[in-house]
Structure formats: structure tokens, C-alpha cells
Amino acid sequence: MVNIGLFTQIVINGLLLGGIYVTIGVGFSLAFGVLEVVDFAVGEYVMIGAFTGALLTPLLGAEGVFVIPIVLISFFALGALIQPMIHHVTTGDRPHPLLMGLVFTFGLATLLRGSVLSIFGPNNRDVPSSLLTGGVEISGVGTFPVVRTVTAVFGVSALVVFMYYLYRTTGGMAIRAIAEDRTNARLMGININRYQSIAYGAYAALTGSAGVFIGMTFTANPGMGLQYTAFAFFMVVLAGMGYLPGVIVAGIVLGLTQSFTAVYISGNLVLLVLFAIIYVVLLISPAGILGRGEWAT
């Protein structure tokens, strides 16, 4: 007999988690579309986002929410400055440029994880927040924890703003044009350096601020990045590389999978189940379960 109350509570938790994963997945998918590189550093942006939250919160009146604007701006700048390097290693006269891009982000991930581990040690840190505590109970449905709800609302609204920029403004059109065909976009007079930097910066900002919220929901830990890299891969593999609407579905599937596996099977098995799904989907349908993604080479 399935406990209905528990069941709906798991669905609520899963959907709320999915909201923030979608933010990570959309940025990641866009970075792939624009730079044609699979970014192994995605989880590390989440991790340093959470750590920035943990370190700056005591300076800002113990309120994690106030860190968000700082993280958005600083991570945008960070991403905008990292992008030219990725662009450099994936173009120009060198053997296997795309593989070099992969190796570069692999190095970047090691650098970020290693620096945080060396400087701050391996311990967990909390991102405290006094505003986002408790939960709102709706009788007959379940409890909505405030942290997770605000997190999901942030995720969805960031997504809406981002999508608006991407599909309704000239700059967004330029970014989509680059994702479509970099050379032709350049021939049309688009400053590809600039728009690639905007796209990668936006991705870093989204991912970093998602990290602050994840730190508030769970905790901040130098080793947490790996898990979110896995989550990001899971979403784009499920959705198909570079296919944004699919990522939204995949993020919600991920949130639900995580909360159901944790409750009904075992928390230890969450990653194993996800990796198994990634592997199988890659082999059966490399363009995603919806079949709309790009083939990467």
C-alpha cells in the first residue's frame, strides 16, 4: 500500500528540486550550443557558488539571499573571461580542437575543485538564511519547504528572463545564430567574441547562483561538484545536446528520479541509477530521448 501523503510529498520535493536543476541544465546546454564544448567544470561552478555563499553570508548579516546578486555579477564576469580561452583552444591550428576543449574544461574543473579543497579544507559548510526557513503546509497536499520553494521559483524565473533574452532580443538572436553556425554568424557581422562571452557568462552566473540555493537547501562541500556535473550531463544526454525545451523536461525527470530513488530504493543508489541511465540513453539514442538534439563529434 503506497502512502499517498508520502507519495505527494516526494512529488513536491522532486518538482521543487527539478526547478533548480533546470537552471543548471539550460545554461549548460546553451554553453554547448554556442561553444561546442562539453563543460566538465559545470558542477564546480555550482560548488564555488555554494562556497561563495557560505563565505560571504556572515559578512552580509547571515542572510544567504543577499549573496545572489553578488554571485550573479561576479560569475558573469568570471565566465566572460574564461570563454575566450575555451574559444581559443577549440579553434585555430591544433590537432583535435574539440577534444582539446574537453580537456581544457577538465583541467579547469580540477583547478577549481583543488583550489577550494586546498584553501578551505574538505569540511561541509552551511549557507545560513534566516528569511527562508520553515514550510508552508497545504492540507491534503503536503508541505512546501520555503527554501526549496524559493529555490524553484528563482530557477524558473531566471529561466524565463533568460529565455526572453534568448528568443525576443537582438542579442539573443545573435547567440542563437552562433549556436547554429559560428562561421556564418561571423560573416553576418556578429561580434562572436562578445556574444559567446555573454552566453558563457550567463551560463556561469545561472549555475553559480543555483549553487548558492543548493548550498542553502543542502550544504556546501568541495566534493559536491562532481554530482552536479553528473546531473548536468544527465539532463543534456536525456534532452539531447543543445535542445533547450528538452532540458526542462529532463530537469524535472531528474528531480523526481532523485527524490523517488532516495525514498523508495536507497540514497546511495541515486548516482548509480543516474549513471546507468546516462550510459544506456547514450548508447540507445545519442540525440536524446526526444531525438531532437545535435550529434556531437
Partner 1 sequence: MSETTSVTNRIPGSRRYWYVGLGALMITWPIIFGNFWARIGVGALMWIGLAQSWNMIGGYAGYLDFGHGAYFGIGAFAAGIAMVQFGYPFVVGFALAIVVSIAISYLVAVPTLRLTGAYFAIATWAFAEAVKQAALITGITGGTFGLSLPRSPDTFIGVALPFQIGETFFYYAMLMLCMATMSLTYYLFERHEFGYRVKALRDDQDAAESLGIDTTRVKRQVYVLSCVVAAVFGSVHAWYIVYIHPNDVLATIITDRMVIMALLGGLGTLTGPVVGGLLVFLLQRLSSVFLGSTTFYLPLIGILIMITVLFAPSGIIGILRGEIDRNDVRQNVKDLGEKFNLL
Nearer to partner 1, 9 or 285 (CB): 285
Report the distance separating Cα 251 and Cα 15, nearest Å.
9
Q: What are phi and psi of 290, to 5 degrees?
A: -90, -10
According to the binding rule CB under 8 A, does residue 188 interact with partner 1? no
According to the binding rule CB under 8 A, does residue 103 interact with partner 1? yes
DSSP state at residue 181: -
In the chain, the N- to C-terminal Cα span, in Å, equals 48
3-class secondary structure, 289: coil
Burial class for 197, CB neighbours closer than 10 Å (0-12, 13-18, 19+): buried
Hey, what amino acid is at 181? D
- Separation in Å, CA 101 to CA 85, 98, 296: 9, 5, 13
Site for partner 1 in 109-168 (CB under 8 A): 109-115, 117-118
According to the binding rule CB under 8 A, does residue 233 interact with partner 1? yes
Build a one-symbol-per-residue string for 198-227: x at contacts with partner 1 by CB under 8 A, - elsewhere.
Answer: ----------------------------x-
**Minimum distance, C-beta of residue 109 to partner 1, in the bound complex (Å):** 7
Q: Total number of residues binding partner 1 (CB under 8 A)?
A: 52
According to the binding rule CB under 8 A, does residue 290 interact with partner 1? no
- Separation in Å, CA 53 to CA 66, 124, 210, 290: 9, 13, 11, 36
Nearer to partner 1, 88 or 292 (CB): 88
According to the binding rule CB under 8 A, does residue 88 interact with partner 1? yes
Hey, what amino acid is at 68? I
**Stretch touching partner 1 by CB under 8 A, among 14-22, 173-181, 203-211, 272-280:** 272-280
Q: Are 228 and 46 in contact (CB under 8 A)?
A: yes
The residue within the footprint of partner 1, chosen from 96, 130, 138, 164 (CB under 8 A), is 96
Q: Are 159 and 23 in contact (CB under 8 A)?
A: yes
According to the binding rule CB under 8 A, does residue 292 interact with partner 1? no
Give the interface with partner 1 as residue ranges (CB under 8 A).
Answer: 37-38, 80-81, 84-85, 87-89, 92, 94-96, 98-100, 102-104, 106-115, 117-118, 191, 193-194, 197, 226, 230, 233, 237, 268-269, 271-272, 275-276, 278-279, 282-283, 286, 296-297
